A and B are shown apart, each in its own frame.
Chain A
Amino acid sequence: GAGVSQSPSNKVTEKGKDVELRCDPISGHTALYWYRQRLGQGLEFLIYFQGNSAPDKSGLPSDRFSAERTGESVSTLTIQRTQQEDSAVYLCASSFQAGGIDTQYFGPGTRLTVL
């Protein structure tokens, strides 16, 4: 079946511009996560959504970052006034619970380059 998809796959922008990154989770998955991975580094958690609960925004690095999710489907991560340090691969994952475990399925990521 279809996995998690993300668009665009690559985005090059100029410093100060706003960008929107999209994630289409696996149908039926109630949880959706955003992570960031800088070059040569590990994954950093940004934000996650679980059903109709308020999102956990504890990982967002600044108020320039925000995310929305429509019901249990598409999510958009927005970065306003991009800075060069925002350059990274942005990864989205979705999951469902079964037997007290949730297995996260990751998309291919969006590579963001801020010039």
Chain B
Amino acid sequence: DAKTTQPNSMESNEEEPVHLPCNHSTISGTDYIHWYRQLPSQGPEYVIHGLTSNVNNRMASLAIAEDRKSSTLILHRATLRDAAVYYCILRETLRNSGNTPLVFGKGTRLSVIA
């Protein structure tokens, strides 16, 4: 899986939007962009994924650059419960690769201030 680069940490005030960036300049045409997060003392949980178009779900939005070399996870209103480590992960479509384990980098530790 291609490598991603994320800031080590970010801070946000409660109830404000948060934009978590991810660079993936070596992304291939068949790589999906996945985001997972890990709350303190819990296993990781899926947040969102996308390929080319921007995506929205109940947890977050994913904005993908036109050249796909970067993406941004958007939390529209941060809450204290959103404090976690956020991981941006590239995965080739299973049609090409079959099931593969997730390759976790260091992620971005998000702190939310009340």
Chain B contributes a number of interface residues (CB within 8 A of A) equal to 21
Q: Do most interface residues of chain B lie in helix, strand or loop, or is the interface mixed?
A: loop
Residues in B neighbouring A31, C-beta threshold 8 A: 99
Among B91, B98, B101, B107, which residue has its beta carbon within 8 angstroms of that of A45?
B101
Contacting pair B43 A109 (CB below 8 A): yes
Q: Is the interface of A mostly helix, strand, loop or mixed?
A: strand
* B28, CB-defined interface residue at 8 Å: no
Q: Could you say which of B36, B43, B49, B101 contacts A101, with CB atoms under 8 Å apart?
A: B49
The reply to whether B101 and A106 contact each other, CB–CB distance below 8 Å, is no
Is B2 part of the binding interface, using a Cβ–Cβ cutoff of 8 Å? no
Are B43 and A59 in touch, CB under 8 angstroms?
Answer: no
1/0 contact string of A32-45 vs chain B (CB within 8 Å) = 01010000001101
Q: A105 to B44, alpha carbons, bound, how many Å?
A: 8
Interface centre among A33, A102, A104 (most CB of B within 10 A): A104
B103 interface hit (Cβ, 8 Å): yes
**A1 close to chain B: CB less than 8 A:** no
Instruction: Give complex CA distance A88, B54 in Å.
Output: 37
Size class of the A contact interface (CB-based, 8 Å): 20 to 34
What distance in Å separates the Cβ of A97 from its nearest Cβ neighbour in chain B?
6
Instruction: List, in ascending order, chain B residues with CB within 8 A of A102's CB.
Output: 94, 99
> Which residue of the partner chain, among B36, B46, B101, contacts A48 with CB atoms under 8 Å?
B101
Kindly state the separation between the CA atoms of A38 and B70 in the bound complex, as whole angstroms. Answer: 29
- 1/0 per position for B95-114, CB-CB distance to A under 8 A? 10011011111110000000
Residues from chain A with Cβ under 8 Å of B91 in the complex = 101
B45 at the interface (CB under 8 A from A): yes
List residues of chain A with CB under 8 Å of any chain B CB. Answer: 4, 31, 33, 35, 42-43, 45, 48, 50, 56, 59, 91, 93, 95, 97, 100-109
Please name 18 pairs of A and B residues whose Cβ atoms are closer than 8 Å in the assembled complex, sorted by A.
A35-B101, A35-B102, A42-B106, A43-B102, A45-B103, A59-B101, A91-B43, A91-B44, A93-B43, A100-B95, A101-B32, A101-B91, A101-B94, A103-B49, A105-B46, A106-B43, A106-B44, A108-B43
